[in-house]
Amino acid sequence: MPVSRPSSDEIQRASELVSQCGNKTQVARVLGIPRTTLNGWLEIGEREYGIRLSSPDAKGRSVTALENGVVIVAADFHYWPGEPSTAHRALVYFTKQLEPDILVANGDVCDFSTISRWPPLGWSSMPTAAEEIEIAQDRLQEWADAGGKALRYWPVGNHDSRMETFIASKTPELKGIRGTSLTDHFAMWEPCYALWINDHPGGLVIKHRYKGGIHATWNNTIYAGRSIATGHLHSQRITPFSNYNGTVYGVDVGCIADPYAEPFQYMEDNPRNHRSGFGIFTFKDGELLPPELVTVLKPGVVWFRGETFEV
């Protein structure tokens, strides 16, 4: 059977959703169509109706310069109500000790389990979106206070996007109303899709995710052509790559959440190649030095620069 042509209203709605959340895969799932079909709709919208996609509000590329100093990059917080993780306590501790110039919350600060496309496991109890936002505000405030005057950036994660995608798909009439965007609740953090520190080959690109799989850090830096720090996979590893142009680094900074924390109960207690911790990036004369990791060894204990620390 031939595929029916979308109406102008369907094309308009699809274009607005993509502009609002920036994630075509999520929008395609919301609309119940393949991503290839969505791309076709967007092409028709631009060609026949003059509909051009706008960048998501305040979520493009942020660029900053750092000649000499420290950047702390943490990702995959998945904050739920309750006691903070060991990695979170270490994050606050080392932020006070290292006095960084820039803090980067590299995506998935919130989990938003109750508005996921995945159904809950039976009658499992999950916090509401409001409860997640409240605890995330408290935890990020602790980190921001520890960082003093450090600049603060938040490259959006796929879990962070769940809130706006849910609202935009269910109630598009609320577009523009304050509170319907996650950034409305975290005014202290500059949102973006990627943060570029020193826009030259010796700099660093920070974004929540790029390539996937067990070779992600290798592929990230090969395809990016420069050092890149990501989260998303929770694996915490550093992969250097050298050629005639010098050495660049692919870094997965790990997760602030405990790998076996409640937000991951959908994994049914399977073993996972995840490590909790975060990344430390030092710049000298505008060039990135070899990155470092703070790694959780066990509850209350982390490893950094050859020493163990109790937090």
- As a whole number, the mean pLDDT across the chain is 90
Cβ contacts of 187 within 8 Å, gap of 6 or more: none
Mean pLDDT of 238-264: 96
Site of tokens 């915490």: 236
pLDDT at residue 55, rounded to an integer: 45
State residue 226's pLDDT score.
Answer: 95
Residue 287 has pLDDT above 60, yes or no: yes
| Distance between CA atoms of residues 282 and 55, nearest Å | 31
pLDDT digits 0-9 by tens, 46-95: 778 777 665 444 458 888 999 999 999 999 999 999 999 999 999 999 99
Residue 162 scores a pLDDT above 80: yes
Range 242-268 average pLDDT: 94
- Would you state the pLDDT for residue 34? 86
Helix (H, G, I), strand (E, B) or coil at 181: coil
Terminal-residue alpha carbon distance, the chain: 63
Query: pLDDT tens across 19-42, in order?
Result: 655 566 667 777 888 877 888 888
